[in-house]
């Protein structure tokens, strides 16, 4: 497990994390596992899901295939979840980015990002919330981005979907509060995931770090620790908020 990881008691909780097989999603999964949660993690590659189940799956950890760009797959996923009566925590983490100037984007790009980043969490939340209402308990975290608060060139579609996801967060928080369900957005800044390391040179990483007041990228576990708190019973009053974890970047 990562150093300096918060540990809270999730022994009796079932946590569903989309996009939980890599990057920030995997880090979030790791800190929940360290806190004793029963985990359901999703990914889009059926072969990878099968391999992960064979290698790590067990009574407290299950991997399922879920691809928000495929309606048939979404339907199959819901069917596989019908026999699970209780989901205590939902973390809508799965998402993609397409970088390009607004004038160069097209309808397929628009549809792809909306389906995966916005419609997917909307559909899944509607399904899971029914279970939470029945149990009068739930915590939902929508993983947004600093680009839900600010933007830059070539991020029109991504910023649009992440703003939309936080808008969904706010209304869900109001409607679900009477059912003891708290809903928040968590917006990471630049984070040192494996993908970030692979797609940036050392000089590029230093250039990014120099723009951040703390002068470094976030470690994935630093994002995961915040998710753990938001999903815990220690959080009893915070709802409808967009928690930015970015080392101060959006204030510069």
Q: Rounded to whole angstroms, how far apart are CA atoms 140 and 128?
A: 10
Which burial class, exposed, middle or buried, applies to 237 when counting CB atoms under 10 A from its CB (0-12, 13-18, 19+)? exposed
In three-state secondary structure terms, 70 is: coil
Whether 137 is a known active-site residue: answer no
Among residues 63, 137, 158, 221, the one annotated as catalytic is 158
Which residues make beta-bridge pairs with 100?
A: 155
- Those residues with Cβ within 8 angstroms of residue 220's Cβ, 6 or more apart along the chain or in another chain: 2, 23, 24, 26, 27, 191, 192, 193
Q: Rounded to whole angstroms, how far apart are CA atoms 53 and 235?
A: 31
Containing 105, the helix (H) or strand (E) segment is none
CA distances, 111 to each of 145, 176, 217, 235 (Å) = 19, 28, 31, 35
Residue 241 burial (CB count, 10 A): 16
Q: Rounded to whole angstroms, how far apart are CA atoms 244 and 250?
A: 9
Q: Rounded to whole angstroms, how far apart are CA atoms 73 and 81?
A: 13
**Among 39, 43, 48, which residue's Cα sits nearest to residue 13?**
39
Q: Please report, in angstroms and rounded to a whole number, the separation of the first and last CA atoms in the chain.
A: 32
Active site residues: 158
């Amino acid at each position: 497990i990562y150093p300096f990881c918060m540990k809270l008691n999730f022994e009796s909780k079932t946590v569903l994390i989309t996009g939980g097989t890599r990057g920030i999603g995997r880090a979030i999964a790791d800190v929940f596992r360290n806190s004793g949660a029963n985990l359901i993690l999703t990914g889009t590659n059926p072969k990878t899901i099968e391999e992960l189940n064979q290698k790590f799956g067990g009574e407290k950890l299950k991997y399922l295939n879920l691809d928000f760009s495929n309606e048939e797959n979404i339907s199959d996923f819901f069917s596989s979840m019908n026999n699970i009566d209780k989901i205590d925590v939902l973390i809508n983490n799965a998402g993609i980015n397409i970088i390009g100037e607004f004038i160069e984007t097209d309808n397929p790009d628009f549809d792809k990002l909306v389906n995966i980043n916005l419609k997917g969490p909307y559909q899944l939340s509607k399904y899971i919330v029914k279970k939470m209402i029945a149990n009068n308990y739930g915590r939902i975290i929508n993983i947004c981005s600093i680009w839900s608060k600010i933007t830059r060139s070539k991020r029109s579609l991504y910023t649009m979907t992440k703003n939309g996801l936080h808008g969904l967060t706010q209304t869900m928080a109001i409607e679900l509060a009477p059912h003891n369900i708290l809903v928040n957005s968590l917006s990471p800044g630049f984070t040192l995931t494996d993908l970030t390391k692979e797609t940036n040179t050392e000089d590029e990483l230093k250039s990014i770090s120099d723009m951040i007041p703390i002068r470094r990228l976030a470690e994935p576990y630093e994002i995961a620790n915040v998710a753990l708190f938001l999903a815990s019973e220690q959080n009893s009053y915070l709802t409808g908020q967009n928690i930015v974890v970015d080392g101060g970047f959006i204030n510069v």
